[in-house]
Amino acid sequence: MNFISLQNVFFSYTDVEEQQNKKYALNGVSLDVKKGEFLAIIGHNGCGKSTIAKHLNAMLLPDSGKVYVDGDDTSDEDKTFDIREKVGLVLQNPDNQLVASIVEEDVAFGPENLGVPPKEIRTRVDNALKAVGMYEYRKHAPHKLSGGQKQRVAIAGILAILPECIVLDEPTAMLDPNGRDEVLSTLLELNHKKNMTVVLITHYMDEAVLADRVVVMDGGNILTQGTPDEVFSQVELLKKHRLDVPQSAELAYRLKGCGVKIDKIPLNNAECIKMLEEVLR
C-alpha cells in the first residue's frame, strides 16, 4: 500500500518574476513510499534530495503535480497539521533541532506543541527515548552528548509525535563512524520491530544497501530505482553519473573489467568474501 505518493512533481525555488531562467529543483518526480518500507534516496549534492524530503511533510508544496500523504493532498491547508503528525522530518545537523537544555524536555517539545496531555507526554517521551537507546540520558544536557547521541535524541523528538513515517535528511553526515552505526541500527530497529516507514536520504552507499529499496536522484529527477541489488549492479550507469557504488561492488566491477567472471555483484563485506572465494576456486 502506498503511504506517500508524489505524482509528476515540479518545484522551483526561483521567483515567478524570473520566469525566463527558471530552474527546477524537481523535474517531474513520481515516487511512491510504501507503508512499512525502508527507502533510501541517494544522489549528488544539489540533485533535489532535500527538496523531496520537504515535500513529504508539506514543508514545501509542488508548483505542479501532486503529493499525497495517506490519501491527503499536501496542498490542502486543512490537512497540513495531520500530515506533519504522520510524517516526521529529521534534519542533517542535530544541533539545529535540539532546543531545550535537558534531553527529556527536548523530546517533549513536539508533543507539547501538539497539545498532548502532560501524562501522555511523559509516556511518549519515555518510550521514544527507550526506542533510540537514550533513556538513561534523559536528565542530561543535549549539548554534552556525542554527535550520534544528539541525533538519536533528535530522532526521539520526532518519535514522540508518534509519526507513521520518519524522513531523515542526511542524518549521519556530521557523525563519526560510531555515531553513524548508532543511528543506522536505531532506524533499522524502528523499521523492523515497530514497522515504522523510514525514508533515509544519505550519501553513504553502505547505508543505502541496508534499505529495502534505493532511489537514485540526478538533476531533479529519478535516475533509477530498485532493490539495492538491482541498483548497485548498474555500476556502469552510476559511474557515468559520477556516483559512488559500495566498495565491494567497485571491486567486482574492476575484476569483471579484467575478464573475471562474476555472477552477482556483492554489496557488503560478507558477499564480497564469498565472491572472492568463488573467483579463487
Ligand X SMILES: Nc1ncnc2c1ncn2[C@@H]1O[C@H](COP(=O)(O)OP(=O)(O)O)[C@@H](O)[C@H]1O
Residues that bind ligand X (CB under 6 A): 13, 25, 43, 45-51
Nearer to ligand X by Cβ, of 42 and 159: the residue is 42
Give the C-alpha separation, 44 to 242, whole Å. Answer: 8
Cross-strand pairs, 27: 10
* Residue 45 Cβ vs ligand X, minimum distance, rounded to whole Å: 4
Residues in the interface with Mg ion (CB under 5 A) total 2
The H or E element containing residue 49 is helix 49-56
Nearer to ligand X by Cβ, of 48 and 147: the residue is 48
* Residue 43 Cβ vs Mg ion, minimum distance, rounded to whole Å: 9
Backbone angles phi, psi at 108, to 5 degrees: -75, -15
Give the C-alpha separation, 153 to 237, whole Å. Answer: 38
Give the C-alpha separation, 96 to 109, whole Å. Answer: 14
Contact by Cβ (8 Å): 166, 159: yes
The closest of 253, 272, 151 to 209, measured between CA atoms, is 272
Nearer to ligand X by Cβ, of 51 and 74: the residue is 51
Is position 51 an interface residue for Mg ion (rule: CB under 5 A)? Answer: no
Nearer to Mg ion by Cβ, of 50 and 74: the residue is 50
* Residue 26 Cβ vs ligand X, minimum distance, rounded to whole Å: 8
Answer with the entry of ligand X, Mg ion, none that 97 interacts with (C-beta below 5 to 8 A by kind).
none
Q: Which three cell numbers stand for residue 199?
A: 525514508
Is position 50 an interface residue for Mg ion (rule: CB under 5 A)? Answer: yes
Nearer to Mg ion by Cβ, of 94 and 142: the residue is 94
Give the C-alpha separation, 163 to 118, whole Å. Answer: 18
Answer with the entry of ligand X, Mg ion, none that 149 interacts with (C-beta below 5 to 8 A by kind).
none
Answer with the entry of Mg ion, ligand X, none that 150 interacts with (C-beta below 5 to 8 A by kind).
none
Answer with the entry of ligand X, Mg ion, none that 81 interacts with (C-beta below 5 to 8 A by kind).
none
Helix, strand, coil share of the chain (percent; to 5): 45, 20, 35
Residue ranges binding Mg ion (CB under 5 A): 49-50
